[in-house]
Amino acid sequence: MINNELLKELSARISALLPMASEAKEDVEKSIQDLLSSTFSRLNLVTREEFDAQLKVLARAQNTIAGLEEKIARLEKARIVTPPTDQENETR
């Protein structure tokens, strides 16, 4: 969800552009804030904290995948280089 401070700031900036009495200005700010809040909630946005957390999870997953790929490559190379043993020949 979007930070309420951001919504308040945006609505205050927008209402500052409109010349009107202070009591009407407060109503306009509240209306704009409600409108922005509902619009942002429909956009399916995530917070910066959620985004950063997912970046860390992705980085760990990429490191794990890279490590596993290296391990598979080493095992495949060792399997190709090592001649089959007598036991393996009997099972074939």
pLDDT, tens only, 41-91: 888 888 889 999 999 999 999 999 999 999 999 998 888 766 666 665 565
Domain count, the chain: 2
Backbone angles phi, psi at 17, to 5 degrees: -75, -15
Which amino acid appears at position 5 of this protein?
E
82 and 65 assigned to the same domain = yes
User: What domain range includes position 58?
Assistant: 48-91
| Residue 63 to residue 56: CA distance in whole angstroms | 11
38 and 52 assigned to the same domain = no
Q: What share of the chain is helix, strand, coil (3-state, %, to 5)?
A: 80, 0, 20
More confident site: 16 or 48: 48
38 and 53 assigned to the same domain = no
More confident site: 9 or 84: 9
87 and 64 assigned to the same domain = yes
The length of the chain is 92
Please tell me what DSSP assigns to residue 1: -
Predicted pLDDT at 90: 61
pTM of the model: 0.47
Predicted pLDDT at 74: 92
